[in-house]
Structure 1
Amino acid sequence: MSVQIPNLTNLAEGLKKNIKGISSAFLKLEFDHAKTAKDAPVDDVAQQAIKEALPKNQAGLLVTGALEDALQSCKKRVEAIAKQCHMTNRRFRDIEFDLEKDQFSCRFGLEGPDSPWSPSAVKRVTDIFDKPVFFGPDGPNASDVRQGGLGDCWFLAALSAISTIDGLVEKICVARDEEVGVYGFVFFRDCVWKTIIIDDLLLWSMPKYDELNPREKALYHNERETYHNVVEKSGKGLLYARSGTVGETWVPLIEKAYAKLHGDYAALEGGFLSEGIEDLTGGVATSFQMSDLLSTDRFWTDELQHADRHTRLFGVGLTLNAELSGIAEPTVQGLWPAHAYSVLRARECRGKRFVVVRNPWGNSEWTGAWADGAKEWKGEWLGVLGELGHEFGDDGQFVMEYSDFLSVFQLIDRATLFDSSWIMSSYWLRVPPQPALHPWTYGDAYYYIKLDKASSTVIVLAQTDDRYIKGLHGEAPMWYLDFLVYEKESKEMVGISGISLGSQRSVSCEVRLEAGEYIVLPRVEPMDRGLLEVNRPKSLSFWKMVLTKSSSTTLLPVRALYGVAASSVVFWLNARNRDCSLQITKYGKRSITSPARQKWHWKST
């Protein structure tokens, strides 16, 4: 009997023709109310708005109503799968993301590889390690993360950064049964927490001993056991990410879960650390140039110091022009351009400021002043190593003096994390785009915000995450985003979004709002006006999010989905400000698919 295999190219074209139907499912209206948490301690001294907006207790996953649902759903699904596997005496195999039976789709998706490829071996973690464990005896830490043969340094750098916060990785890795090989995770995508379940099958890049030629076998003294111990059981043969601790599996498995979230591994090629932290924690991230800092002293005290308090996480990168240098792969004293680095710590020791940075490769470090073994490390300065939490070794972690840090790196990714006292709500809407040629103006849509009490606020405008639909949308226009915040009565502008020069997924601002009513005016502009004229969407979708504390935090996101932008305003309310009511009224100046006017009045309970 013959079996007809569908043509992947025809399948992709068919999906593209029906993209409007697919996109409408993604762009449904959502209004997510989150649960309150215990009261956070009130500061004795009033602080600046930017400081007031930061979490007062341990920051971690953004607590929303959907988070609790996702956690419970994840645990129940893992328990049900484990129970079924024990009954049938079979290990779990994820037919939704089967690396063995559907390796092409899991690795490359609909677009396919850029060059000829051959299938890799697939092994369970029990076939790779003698005694595999999800977390080693020291738990997850930044030094565990090792990048493999995938260009997802941005995600692994984000994973290293969040590993500096005790217990945070464990919250993302919700449930597991290592005996049957089932693992459950949660990720934050498009303002909603998603549950992902995977098995323990991983891609393997090394041949079996019997597949080696005589010359290769001689490298291992023609001993099968030596090859087995050096190559197979060390985990170094994993095709993609691995842990630096032999036998530990959390790094490759969380990478696999994140790949499944976006459809395939190839979807993770290229990105920004800020995006990874947002997806892992629900935090709010932005990117900016080092040269735009007004005061480097204030950046050290007001922002980098919060890295130690785990309220802010940072990543950095640099750029070089290979054509000008005439070198194929130029570096800056061991640091690579177009590569993401995690900022682990910032400490002041004996009158000098130091920053501890990490390369997700797990090697290839800074070779300038204060590098491992550099001449600066002598006498009393050797005692500073303990204060910095640093040891010499080719593990990708290195120390830089703050002045070098500022001069070498050019791009900064900064993410703000929220503790359990923050509350988020969100709303999606659609607005028709303006023509390619039109005045530079705001007002495609606008929102009223009413606060009963003064509050610090974070407003974010973000585009929908199109990473998981790569290969479907073709050449859809991308969008420049910004917005203004006005006081309704006085018409005074009180806030403006910052410029994101790295990731274009979102823009945001942090501003203290007094009690009263405010208007948020977003603007969405195509990056390529010519492309917009060729492939112009009928409407743009926006989602509205608000977060409020004893300071309130407001997120206003917008994203492009198949040529359709999605945006939202988000408000977080802090539990210790229970009597602060927040009212959001949405208006659209043009025709919109949702009702022309909707109101919500929400009060913390």
Structure 2
Amino acid sequence: MSALECSSSDSDDNNNPAPPLRGAKSKSKKKRSLPPQETINKIWSRFSASRFSKATVILPQISGSSQTVAPSNPRPNNLLVSEDFERAVLECRTRVRKLIKECKRVNMRYRDPDFDIDWDLKWEKGHCLNGLVDPKFEISRHAFESPTSMVPKAVKRVHEIFNKPTFLKEKISPADVMQGNLGNCWLMASLTALANMEVGIQRICVEYDTKIGIYGFVFHRDGEWIISIIDDKLYLKSPDWDSPSVQRHLLEQIDREDVEKEYRMTYQTGSQALFFAHCRDQNETWLPLLEKAYAKAHGDYAALSGGWIGEGLEDLTGGVTTELLTSDILDTDEFWDNEILKVNKEFLFGCSTGLLDGGYGSRDGITEGHAYVIMDARNLSTGERLVKLRNPWGKGKKGNWEGPWSDGSKEFTPEAQRELSHKFGNDSVFWISFEDLLRKYQHFDRTRLFMDSAGWRVTQKWISVEVPWHAKFEEKFQIILTKESPVVLVLSQLDDRYFNGLQGQYRFRLQFRLHEADSPGEEDYIVRSHGNYLMERSVVTELKSLRAGTYSVSVMVAADRDINMPSVEDIVKEQCQQKVDNDKLAQVGMAYDFAHSKGTAHMESRATARRAQEKREAREARIAIRRKNWEKRHLTRDIIRKQEKKNREKRELKQSKDAARAREKEEKGPKDAAVQTEDVKEVIEKEGQEGQDAQTEAPPKPATELETQSLNGNGQGVQTDNMSTSFIESQGTPETPKSGLNTPPSHITIPIHYQGGPPAPEPPYRSRQSKDSSTQRYPRSLPQHSRYITSDGESSASPISDSDDMYSDNDSTLKPRPVNSQTSTANKKVKESDEDEPEPWNAVCIVGLRVYSKDEGLEVKDFEEGIDDLVKIDEKKEEEDGMDGTDADVEDHGDGKDGEDDEVVNEKKMDVAGK
């Protein structure tokens, strides 16, 4: 069946046939193209969201677990850095000791209900290994049987894996750090740097009980210290004896007394049996347990794949990291004296190469795209400046420097070896000259430490920022410094690693500038943040001294959008539609909710402010419209008064002329009056006879557009012809009748009008009568009861309504038109055609400003703080002024006699509304 036949068939079914040719023509009609500028304006209007918004709650009905519950007491600001850390340590110890008592009470080892890797692996869930999307480890029974598959095969407790387990030694060696089957070299390098410090690892391993198998750690995240409590279960490379495996099959071929025991000792004992990171010492356990606690804090192990040393050092120490490019260092000697030589005291350093160019080869033994950590720096007696580095792989000489001052090189004389206390070996530790360090490594992560406190205090504030498509600087924060102090400013966004999978389509890059409060000019700033190439989580700037005063911080957030990435709502919808358990979505959703709770209050205040602003703008618009209509109404009244005066003068003049003509008729005598009466009667009788003959000879005609129907006293329709219209027109209006003709002929029917006034002539035009109604429509006529009453009591059929019609914006005489069905259909088609348009730009970033100083009175505020109070004050003021935004704001209290009083009253109200 052709398209034309389909169209015809559909029309027949609907009992409303449509001309097919016209429909075909309309389908083939080409859409009218807009001018270039209008087209561009239309694109931008659709591209930008009218209201920026962001999902802040994923699981409103699910309570948080122990690791994601927000603290009951809000975190106080301007605390000593050491005091803030001790507060988190005390809370962690309290919770761990409480759990230890519980375990002793029931005679059970501790099992972590929020991160049970044993149950998760046995049931092949993989939630502790993989993220919400794109699983890194394919968990299946076939993977357990295959010895080459890169997936954990079993889970055991520490006492089942190690013969003599030791959690922490008195002296932790950085050489103990060994990376496992996960691309988290950045974290291993950070732990190496921390282990190189005197009490670095012991500082974050807060409370533990090796017998019960419970360990409590603290990590720094999003500006505060968090707690992570785990049990002692760890992943193994080889499956259990009960599972089918190649290893078991091989051992069963050998004659042994206890083959199962031999299997356990060979494949499931010691650090070498662990799947992820492990210590070089076969009985040391701090590294795999700390890695597990860090993985739990971020949701799963896969979340640790890929990162930057600086971010890891921030999370482990609570410090502040600055990204440095070798090419940007101005004075290398100052960099050596004031920074590199202070390693492990004021700074920690990580370094890497080949990141910006995407290279993953080797530079004289140094692996590109890999993280190294600076462990020490020395000035030799011979004047050489040497730096000690370590490769976190910890596996032989792979990835180690092979140039001057490497192990076994000619530069390493016995004297230098004794001075550096260095031993050659396969511990992945090597020395390199400072010049070669700058030449071979392109990228440095410098982390400033606040561990010794030295009077450092920290204050922070989190807000939400609506990111436009074209980024620009905007004032967002205010800093009040009461005394001169060194200052470290950190602008950071949420760490999306611990709600991996719900990042959305936008990636944000941060910048900020510090201004004096009285000099907010665009280029008149004190200092600006150091832009980062790779680290997007935060930007930093440091000032050795800043005098007391008030300062403003202008923030610029630039966003990049990847439309191929799923949005947050898409991920949630997909996860809900899958017929699987929702444990992973619940876990990631709770982490997402906890993270975004930092900006929820600010977003709500912004929404409140936006609503208040929209309310004020709408109210001002209504007042402006009412002011315009008020002026139009009073102007119309003035025009009507003038017209009334002219009409009154005309009537008086006409009445005087009629009186004069009447006197003249009386003077002519009865003879002339009788003759005139006879002539008139003859004319009327003749016209009546002609009308009767016409009705007899011709059948009745249907009413034309100028012919209407009227109602007689019984409510029945009486037809009127053109003669009645011509008769009324010839006799004038009821107010000014022709002299001598006070009544129409008997066959002329006069329409019935409202009571209380003389009949008015029908308008010269009428709307077409509908088939289903017997009433008439007068589009521009005025009802009799709405006639304007002048000050002298006269009535006037003014074409302008005094109240309702004045509120029309376009024409004071037009009523609102009914909705056209064709217009709504056209709008629906336009809407359907717009469904292919891209989603509008809607980027919202939650950022926090963290300020470190030595000022006890430091305050950090955002420029929109206190907006709720301003809104309440504004609403209270509106109530006091009586301006509630209703139509009564600009109301006419006049009596219609004189516009002066009305004008005075309304001008007073307009002055109040304009404030």
Note whether the superposition's TM-score is higher than 0.5.
yes
Instruction: Return the offset for 1:499.
Output: 1.2
Q: Which residue of 2 aligns with 1:505?
A: 537
- Residue among 212, 223, 237 paired with 1:180: 212
Instruction: Report if the CA contact (8 A) 1:447-1:587 is conserved.
Output: yes
Q: Indicate the larger mover: 421-430 or 255-264.
A: 421-430
Instruction: Return the offset for 1:322.
Output: 9.8
Q: Distance in 2 between matches of 1:455 and 1:513?
A: 5
Instruction: Return the offset for 1:397.
Output: 1.2
Cα 1:219–1:93 shift into 2, 3 Å: same
What SS is found at the alignment partner of 2:339?
helix
- Residue among 377, 380, 401 paired with 2:412: 377
Q: Distance in 2 between matches of 1:530 and 1:593?
A: 35
Does structure 1 residue 92 correspond to structure 2 residue 372?
no
Q: Which residue of 2 aligns with 1:204?
A: 236
Q: Which residue of 1 aligns with 2:299?
A: 263
Q: Which residue of 2 aligns with 1:46?
A: none
Q: Which residue of 1 aligns with 2:88?
A: 70
Q: Distance in 2 between matches of 1:27 and 1:481?
A: 28
Instruction: Return the offset for 1:450.
Output: 2.2
Q: Which residue of 2 aligns with 1:242?
A: 278
- Residue among 493, 515, 523 paired with 1:463: 493
Q: Distance in 2 between matches of 1:110 and 1:469?
A: 9
Instruction: Report if the CA contact (8 A) 2:314-2:321 is conserved.
Output: yes
Instruction: Return the offset for 1:368.
Output: 1.8
Cα 1:209–1:400 shift into 2, 3 Å: farther
Does structure 1 residue 32 correspond to structure 2 residue 32?
no
Instruction: Report if the CA contact (8 A) 1:107-1:264 is conserved.
Output: yes
Instruction: Return the offset for 1:563.
Output: 5.5
- Residue among 313, 316, 322 paired with 1:280: 316
Cα 1:127–1:564 shift into 2, 3 Å: farther
Q: Which residue of 2 aligns with 1:39?
A: none
Cα 1:585–1:180 shift into 2, 3 Å: closer
Q: Which residue of 2 aligns with 1:158?
A: 190
What SS is found at the alignment partner of 1:80?
helix
Q: Which residue of 2 aligns with 1:342?
A: 373
Instruction: Report if the CA contact (8 A) 1:30-1:426 is conserved.
Output: no
C-alpha RMSD of the superposition: 3.6
Q: Distance in 2 between matches of 1:232 and 1:471?
A: 33
Q: Gaps spanning 5+ residues in structure 2: where?
A: 1-52, 144-151, 570-595, 603-841, 872-915
Instruction: Report if the CA contact (8 A) 1:539-1:564 is conserved.
Output: no
Larger radius of gyration: 2
Q: Distance in 1 between matches of 2:498 and 2:188?
A: 18
Does structure 1 residue 515 correspond to structure 2 residue 544?
no
Amino acid at match of 1:523: M
Instruction: Report if the CA contact (8 A) 1:149-1:239 is conserved.
Output: yes
Q: Which residue of 2 aligns with 1:482?
A: 511
Q: Distance in 1 between matches of 2:252 and 2:393?
A: 29
What SS is found at the alignment partner of 2:533?
coil
Instruction: Report if the CA contact (8 A) 1:433-1:540 is conserved.
Output: no
Instruction: Return the offset for 1:582.
Output: 2.4
Instruction: Return the offset for 1:429.
Output: 1.8
Instruction: Report if the CA contact (8 A) 2:466-2:843 is conserved.
Output: no
Q: Which residue of 1 aligns with 2:632?
A: none
- Residue among 309, 312, 316 paired with 2:351: 316
Q: How does 1:93-132 map to 2 (within 5 A)?
A: 93-103=111-121, 104-114=126-136, 116-117=138-139, 118=143, 120-132=153-165
Aligned length: 517
What SS is found at the alignment partner of 1:100?
helix
Instruction: Return the offset for 1:185.
Output: 0.5
Q: Percent identity, aligned pairs only?
A: 35
Amino acid at match of 1:249: T
What SS is found at the alignment partner of 1:357?
strand
Q: Distance in 2 between matches of 1:470 and 1:306?
A: 36
Q: Which residue of 2 aligns with 1:601?
A: none
Cα 1:213–1:154 shift into 2, 3 Å: closer
What SS is found at the alignment partner of 1:95?
coil
Instruction: Return the offset for 1:218.
Output: 11
Instruction: Return the offset for 1:367.
Output: 1.8
Q: Distance in 2 between matches of 1:524 and 1:409?
A: 29
- Please give the TM-score of this superposition, normalised by the length of structure 2: 0.52
Cα 1:76–1:207 shift into 2, 3 Å: same
Instruction: Return the offset for 1:114.
Output: 4.3
Cα 1:246–1:401 shift into 2, 3 Å: same
Cα 1:68–1:385 shift into 2, 3 Å: closer
Q: Distance in 2 between matches of 1:316 and 1:246?
A: 29
Instruction: Return the offset for 1:349.
Output: 0.9
Q: Indicate the larger mover: 209-218 or 142-151.
A: 209-218
Cα 1:82–1:291 shift into 2, 3 Å: same
What SS is found at the alignment partner of 2:438?
helix
What SS is found at the alignment partner of 1:398?
strand
Q: Which residue of 2 aligns with 1:452?
A: 482
Instruction: Report if the CA contact (8 A) 1:32-1:427 is conserved.
Output: no
Instruction: Report if the CA contact (8 A) 2:493-2:538 is conserved.
Output: yes
Q: Distance in 1 between matches of 2:92 and 2:364?
A: 45
Q: Distance in 2 between matches of 1:460 and 1:83?
A: 41
Instruction: Return the offset for 1:194.
Output: 0.8
Q: Distance in 1 between matches of 2:273 and 2:507?
A: 38
Q: Which residue of 2 aligns with 1:233?
A: 269
Instruction: Report if the CA contact (8 A) 2:459-2:858 is conserved.
Output: no
Q: What are the Cα deviations for residues 82-111 of structure 1, in whole angstroms up to 9, with x where unaligned?
A: 222222221111111011111300001322
Q: Distance in 2 between matches of 1:220 and 1:494?
A: 76
Q: Distance in 1 between matches of 2:341 and 2:232?
A: 38
Q: What are the Cα deviations for residues 177-230 of structure 1, in whole angstroms up to 9, with x where unaligned?
A: 000100000111111211111000000003467944589559999796777656
Q: What are the Cα deviations for residues 158-183 of structure 1, in whole angstroms up to 9, with x where unaligned?
A: 11111222112112000000001000
Instruction: Return the offset for 1:373.
Output: 1.9
Amino acid at match of 2:512: F
- Please give the TM-score of this superposition, normalised by the length of structure 1: 0.77
Q: Which residue of 1 aligns with 2:439?
A: 407
Cα 1:289–1:596 shift into 2, 3 Å: farther
Instruction: Report if the CA contact (8 A) 2:179-2:185 is conserved.
Output: yes
Structure whose residues are more often helix by fraction: 2
What SS is found at the alignment partner of 1:522?
strand
Amino acid at match of 1:301: D
Q: Which residue of 2 aligns with 1:296?
A: 332
What SS is found at the alignment partner of 2:272?
coil
Instruction: Report if the CA contact (8 A) 1:541-1:565 is conserved.
Output: no
